[in-house]
Amino acid sequence: MKRISLVNAAHDLIRDILRPGDIAIDATVGNGHDTVFLAEQVGPSGHVYGFDIQQAAIDSTLEKFRQAHSPECLTLIHASHADMDERIPAYHHGKVRAIMFNLGYLPGGDKTVITLTDSTLTALTVAARILAVEGIITLLAYPGHQGGDLETGQVKNWCEQLDTQQFEVSTIYSTEHKDSAPRLFVIRKLR
């Protein structure tokens, strides 16, 4: 089976939904690739909020962003994605069109600093609540690293608990369906 890029799959799904003027969140900024992608979709009149617990991720994303975009449409927040509820202005709650998660560790960074199951589940619960109707959450999970299998399993369980009248969930695998294979959870808010 041909390996597919789950990042590209997430971008394709979001590209179909986001429009200039929309609000989007990169829940795990990392090296800033998704943040820049989101800004290209919503700019110049929209806004992107980005979260990361590592200052190095915030700094490199801001630098990458400044090279191509106006920083007025970006708010980077040096905090856990679990803090979305307090950090995203209340007037945007229910109006966020896309939220991206890319779990695990910062590529090129300290591999011992990883996303944690509890904060990810808290962030997902908030994300589902503040997401606009017909909005999308993409969550890329990597069960192959230390702690990633537990986090991926708990995300899967969380998704299975969603109200099927309100949310539609699908999973895309990078290769064949194996427990250790990276996967993209796609959560669409129906109403």
114 has a pLDDT exceeding 70? no
Phi, psi (rounded to 5 degrees) for 136:
-140, 140
User: Does the pLDDT of residue 106 top 60, yes or no?
Assistant: no
pLDDT score for 113 = 57
**What are the CA-CA distances from residue 97 to residues 48, 49, 79, 164 (Å)?**
10, 12, 21, 19
**Spatial contact of 92 and 144, defined as CB atoms under 8 Å apart:** no
The arithmetic mean of pLDDT across residues 137-157, rounded, is 82
Tokens of 91: 């007037």
pLDDT band, residue 103 (cuts 50/70/90): confident
Of residues 104 and 39, which shows the higher confidence score? Answer: 39
What 3 state SS string does 97-125 have? EEEEEECCECCCCCCCCECCHHHHHHHHH
Q: What is the CATH number of the domain that holds 136?
A: 3.40.50.150
- pTM (2 d.p.): 0.92
d(CA 13, CA 57): 24
Per-residue pLDDT, 118: 80
Return mean pLDDT, the chain.
87
Residue 100 covered by a domain: yes
What confidence score (pLDDT) does residue 149 get? 75
Number of compact structural domains in the chain? 1
Judge whether 1 lies within some domain: no
* Residue 101, token pair as written in the block: 């998660």
Which of 56-65, 146-155, 163-172 shows the lowest mean pLDDT across its residues?
A: 146-155
Q: Indicate whether 147 belongs to any domain.
A: yes
**Rounded CA gap, 131 and 134, in Å?**
8
Token pair belonging to 162? 């969603």
Token digits of residue 74:
């970006």
Quick one: pLDDT at residue 81? Answer: 92
* 64 φ, ψ (degrees, to nearest 5): -60, -40
In this prediction, residues 116-137 reach a mean pLDDT of 92
Residue 69: band (very low, low, confident or very high) from pLDDT cuts 50, 70, 90: low
Chain centroid to CA 42: how far? Answer: 15
Q: How far apart are CA 52 and CA 29, in angstroms?
A: 5
Q: What is the reported pLDDT for 182?
A: 87
Give the per-residue pLDDT at 134.
97
Overall average pLDDT of the 164-186 stretch: 86
Cα–Cα distance for residue pair 188/166, rounded to 1 Å: 8
Over range 166-173, report the average pLDDT. 94
> Could you tell me which residues are beta bridge partners of residue 50?
26, 76
pLDDT of amino acid 92: 96
Confidence check: pLDDT of 12 > 60: yes
In this prediction, residue 18 carries a pLDDT of: 96
Q: Which residues is 24 bridged to in the sheet? A: 48, 98
- The residue range of the domain holding 151 is 6-189
